[in-house]
Amino acid sequence: MSTSSQGSSTNRNANRNSLKPSSNVKSKPIQRRTTTASAVKDHTTVPGRVRVAVRLRPRNAEELVADADFADCVELQPELKRLKLRKNNWDGETYEFDEVLTEFASQKRVYEVVARPVVESVLDGYNGTIMAYGQTGTGKTYTLGRLGEEDTAARGIMVRAMEDIFADVSLESDSVSVSYLQLYMETIQDLLDPSNDNIAIVEDPKTNDVSLPGATLVEIRDQQSFVELLRLGEAHRFAANTKLNTESSRSHAILMVHVKRSVKGRDASHSSENGNHPHMVKSLKPPIVRKAKLVVVDLAGSERIDKSGSEGHMLEEAKSINLSLSALGKCINSLAENSAHVPFRDSKLTRLLRDSFGGTARTSLIITIGPSPRHRGETASTIMFGQRAMKVENMIKLKEEFDYKSLSRRLDIELDKLIMEHERQQKAFEDEIERLATEAQHRISEAERNYVESLEKERSKYQKDYMESIKKLEEKFVMNQRKNEDPHMKSNTEIPSITAEEMADLKKMLQKETLLRKAAEGETNNLKIQVAELKQSEASAKIEISKLYKILEEESHQKEKLEGEIAILQSQLLQLGLEADETRRHLDRGGFSKEVGGRDSLTSQIKHQQQVSGNGEKPSIAKLFEQVGLQKILSLLESEDADVRIHAVKVVANLAAEETNQGKIVEAGGLTSLLMLLKTTQDETIHRVAAGAIANLAMNETNQELIMAQGGISLLSMTAANAEDPQTLRMVAGAIANLCGNDKLQTELRGEGGIKALLGMVRCRHPDVHAQVARGIANFAKCESRASSQGMKSGRSFLIEDGALPWIVQNANNEASSIRRHIELALCHLAQHEANARDMISGGALWELVRISRDCSREDIKTLAHRTLASSPSFQAEMRRLRLSH
């Protein structure tokens, strides 16, 4: 029978029964992560062909009358998924599709077979496209865009898709946002904001991801607001089309639904631990988000537009209107034929749909046809478009990534909590110490008071007793005297004498006095003991206080340690982010790892870091810098722990990539520490990262002189001689290349073996290393040339003396432009001085210069080479000899 039906039968047979993909997303989850360490880096990809369904519109009122005597131009066999396009009553061609939908197919059924698998796939984290193609009036808008407000059974694919999305997402953790656009005459207009009528497409050259940063993006939280948004878009579309004097059939309508979901409960399989992180790392697992995009495209009518302008369009307009559609056809043809080149860049539509055809999205195409035999030609071409689209293979890829932003937020909160807890503890300690001190003071003064009081009491008691005894004695004495003076006394001359009785009394009194004194002495001793005891307890209180001080000291020590740990963790997080990003880029590029441009790459890593941290927030590295302090980070460079050293040097390198930090780093002695690291450690990673940091610092003239003054060139040369890792060599070469660009350092640099070290590194075949070597040579040649023309240097170039010429000549036509351009410049600089001419001629450099002056694609270099050759008598003579012209 027909030949065309065989064309696509190979792919089709496997999935004859359904438009759904062979690996049904819901029932048989696509194989996800396998290992723990590289979990998220392992983006799952599965093959997925573009699915194509055909839908026939019922005859409309006009056709019922006008075509009453004619049969439909197509005959459908839905159970066989076949369509027969009649040539005449007895002959026709048969085509197979993934799904054949008759004029009786309900909107619900159309949604289920065409759109639902794509929507489910988007909910699982894959990009998806649903697109309608066909002649104007065949039902594209009916199929995709009907709101079905008057009759819910009539709801189209857009409305039903959003219903399914809302049924599946959780509004707490997920988000759904929508853009709605119109593409007309290669201009993208925002249907949600008509004033926004020229939106640019932005492509990420590395990932090929396409985005429209200028388009309005509305986050929606319920079905009702989505329907309102669609209605608003339709109204704007009508207005825009009226203004442009066109109809919607001439423009493409594009709905983009961004679904962002956080992946819960799977964290266990996403650990990035490799066993040697500190204990806090468990809380460092970044959450995972899936960001998938559903694109629904209502294409412009596929009929050929009359170029005569009969519909009021100028020829240019007509071309422009069809440009996107014909570019789409060309891309699909190239993809169907597996051509090496697919002309995606030819139109805005194909740039926008890059991921949908031959990309990573799951794509479903519905082609719409009418029954009328009068449009047989258009119907046939629509069918052929569908047949070709069925041959397009996509590689469907999970859009999953770490959510570093929320991890960083979480870490910030944890840090704040730790700081608060520490402050609280410190306050409690200080309060306790104060309390103890006052208490002890209290006790001491009370004891002292008691002592003074009781001493006073004793003293006055003894004084009183003493006075009393004296008084008694005096009384007795007076009595005795009186007795003596008495006339009854025996004799006047008799000496007054004390009777035995009185004597005994006196003795007794004396004894009593003695006893009392002894008691007082005992009491005094007692008090003395008490005071001594009190003194002792005061001393022990002091010991306790000093113990508490010690504990406090330990606490603050602990706090410092924790802060250090947090710094390391944050630097690890940073590193993880950079590495994850790096790996993702590599994977996206096809797995081969290759970085470009030493300085540029470091700077771009930081730039990326800034992007990751979001618009409003400060980059977290700068935050780290503020929180932890440069001094502390630098002091970690000398840590005992190799891991800590590595992380610290990475942080310093990241800081050094930003110009604003460079001064501070050098001031704080960072340059010296980095140079020391080259000398004192054997670790390749440290060498690589430290050299990278030095390369960044060496961009500034003052730093270049400092590096030289601190013996940096011999350290770099030593590293260059011992390193094997191409990335280390690239960094070292980058650093030396920067030094080569300083006019003042030429002689010293060369004298200390800088050029030899640079040339030595070409033993590593990596093109990035060669590019840096070439840059260094070009820098050096430029400075030398300047010095020569100012009369400050004479004789042959140091480059030639140090044997650089053979490598220069050999690489002058290197296919990598980053190498070639530098060498071309170096050759021009060298050629400007007659002293170099003889070596250059004998070394073959003249041929290269002639080639550059003829063929170089950079006009400025070409002119420079030409001028240089023309002004050199030696070159002119040699060229005349060889009968060369240029």
Q: Render 269-302 in DSSP notation, one character per residue.
A: GG----S-S-GGGGGGPPPEEEEEEEEEEEPPP-
- Partner whose footprint covers residue 142, from Mg ion, ligand ADP, none (CB < 5 to 8 Å by kind): ligand ADP
Strand residues in 152-192 grouped as ranges (E): 175-184, 187-190
142 or 166, CB closer to ligand ADP? 142
Shortest reach from residue 55's CB to ligand ADP, in Å: 7
Query: Nearest to residue 707, comparing CAs of 686, 664, 676, 684?
Result: 676
User: Tokens 């066109």 — which residue?
Assistant: 246
Q: Which two tokens stand for residue 101?
A: 């939908």
Provide the phi-psi class of 170: left if phi over 0, else alpha when psi is between -120 and 50, else beta: beta
Give the strand pairing for 74-77 and 82-86. Answer: antiparallel
Query: 565 near 278, Cβ under 8 Å?
Result: yes
Q: How many residues bind Mg ion (CB under 5 A)?
A: 2
Minimum CB distance to ligand ADP smaller for 8 or for 249: 249
Q: Which of 249, 347, 360, 738 binds ligand ADP (CB under 6 A)?
A: 249
Of 152 and 460, nearer to ligand ADP (C-beta) is 152
Nearer of residues 321 and 707 to ligand ADP, judged by Cβ? 321
Judged by beta carbon distances under 5 to 8 A according to partner kind, the member of Mg ion, ligand ADP, none in contact with residue 134 is: ligand ADP
Give the nearest distance from C-beta 182 to ligand ADP in angstroms. 14
Q: SS3 for 791? A: coil
Whether the CB-CB separation of 577 and 404 falls below 8 Å is answered with: yes
Q: How far apart are CA 776 and CA 622, in angstroms?
A: 31
Q: Least separation, in Å, of the C-beta of 591 and ligand ADP?
A: 43
CB closer to ligand ADP, 109 vs 880: 109
Find the shortest distance in angstroms from Cβ 140 to Mg ion.
Answer: 5
Q: Which stretch binds ligand ADP (CB under 6 A): 40-48, 88-96, 139-147, 686-694?
A: 139-147
Alpha-carbon distance of 687 to 646, in angstroms, equals: 10
Question: Where is the binding site for ATP, in residues?
Answer: 134-141
Q: Using CB under 6 A, which residues numbered 284 to 323 contact ligand ADP?
A: 301
Q: Decide whether 57 or 599 has the Cβ nearer to ligand ADP.
A: 57
| Helix or strand holding residue 534 (H, E) | helix 500-589
* Total length of the chain: 886
Closest-CB residue for ligand ADP? 139
Of these, 78, 137, 760, 844, which contacts ligand ADP (CB under 6 A)?
137
Q: Does position 141 bind ligand ADP by CB under 6 A?
A: yes
Pick one of ligand ADP, Mg ion, none as the site partner of residue 454 (Cβ within 5 to 8 A by kind): none
Helix (H), strand (E) at residue 228? helix 223-243
Q: Which does 58 bind (CB under 5 to 8 A by kind): Mg ion, ligand ADP, none?
A: ligand ADP
Closest CA to 652 of 697, 618, 683: 697
Q: Which does 605 bind (CB under 5 to 8 A by kind): ligand ADP, Mg ion, none?
A: none
- Please, are residues 349 and 324 in contact by the beta-carbon 8 Å criterion? yes
Q: Which residues pair with 181 in a beta bridge?
A: 190, 254
At closest approach, how far in Å is the CB of 72 from ligand ADP? 14
Q: If binding is defined by CB under 6 A, does position 138 make contact with ligand ADP? A: yes
- Cβ burial 415-449 (10 Å sphere, 16+ → b, else e): beebeeebeeeeeebeeebeeeeeebeeeeeebee
| Residue nearest Mg ion (C-beta atom) | 141
Closest distance to ligand ADP from the beta carbon of 60 (Å): 6
Q: Does 368 bind ligand ADP (CB under 6 A)?
A: yes
Phi, psi for 40 (deg, rounded to 5): -80, -20
Q: In a 3-state reduction of DSSP, which class is residue 884?
A: coil
- Put the strands of the sheet holding 92-96 in their side by side order: 74-77, 82-86, 92-96
Backbone angles phi, psi at 132, to 5 degrees: -115, 135
The listed partner (ligand ADP, Mg ion, none) that binds 670, CB under 5 to 8 Å by sort, is none
Q: Given candidates 24, 44, 45, 136, which one binds ligand ADP under the rule CB under 6 A? A: 136
- Binding-residue total with ligand ADP (CB under 6 A): 14
Region binding ligand ADP by CB under 6 A among candidate stretches 130-138, 217-225, 281-289, 733-741 = 130-138
322 binds, among Mg ion, ligand ADP, none (CB under 5 to 8 A by kind): none
Taking CB within 5 to 8 Å according to partner kind, which of Mg ion, ligand ADP, none is near residue 577? none
Strand-pairing partners, residue 187, are 184
The residues in 39-68 that bind ligand ADP, with binding defined as CB under 6 A, are 57-58, 60
Report the residue number, 161 or 580, with the smaller CB distance to ligand ADP.
Answer: 161
Beta carbon nearer to Mg ion, 141 or 788: 141
- Rounded least distance, CB 109 to ligand ADP, Å: 11
| Residue 382 binds to ligand ADP (criterion: CB under 6 A) | no
Among 48, 134, 577, 712, binds ligand ADP (CB under 6 A): 134
Q: CB 301 → ligand ADP: shortest distance, Å? A: 6
Q: Which is nearer to ligand ADP, 60 or 94 (CB)?
A: 60
d(CA 811, CA 777) in angstroms, rounded, equals 12
Minimum distance, C-beta of residue 22 to Mg ion, in the bound complex (Å): 32
Binding residue positions: 134-141
Q: How far apart are CA 776 and CA 737, in angstroms?
A: 4
Q: Is 139 in the site for ligand ADP (CB under 6 A)?
A: yes
How large is the angle between the packed helices 598-612 and 642-656, nearest 10 degrees? 90
Q: Indicate the residue among 254 and 861 with the shorter CB distance to Mg ion.
A: 254
Q: Least distance to ligand ADP from the beta carbon of 104, Å?
A: 9
Which residues lie closer than 8 Å to 799 by C-beta, 6 or more apart? 755, 777, 780, 781, 784, 805, 808, 826, 830
Maximum Cα–Cα distance across the chain: 191
Q: Which of Mg ion, ligand ADP, none sits in contact with 358, Cβ below 5 to 8 A by type?
A: none
Minimum distance from CB of 130 to Mg ion (Å)?
15
Q: Which of 198, 349, 175, 333 shows the shortest CA–CA distance to 262?
A: 175
Q: Read off φ and ψ for residue 245, nearest 5 degrees.
A: 60, 45
DSSP secondary structure code for residue 203 in this structure: E
Give the nearest distance from C-beta 298 to Mg ion in angstroms: 6
Rule CB under 6 A: choose which of 84, 140, 397, 782 binds ligand ADP. 140
The strand pair at 362-369 and 128-134 is best described as parallel
How many Å apart are CA 121 and CA 364, to the nearest integer? 11
- Do 117 and 25 meet the contact criterion of CB atoms below 8 Å apart? yes
Q: Give the footprint of Mg ion on residues 117-156 (CB under 5 A).
A: 140-141
Q: Which residues bind Mg ion (CB under 5 A)?
A: 140-141
Q: Which residues bind ligand ADP (CB under 6 A)?
A: 57-58, 60, 134, 136-142, 249, 301, 368
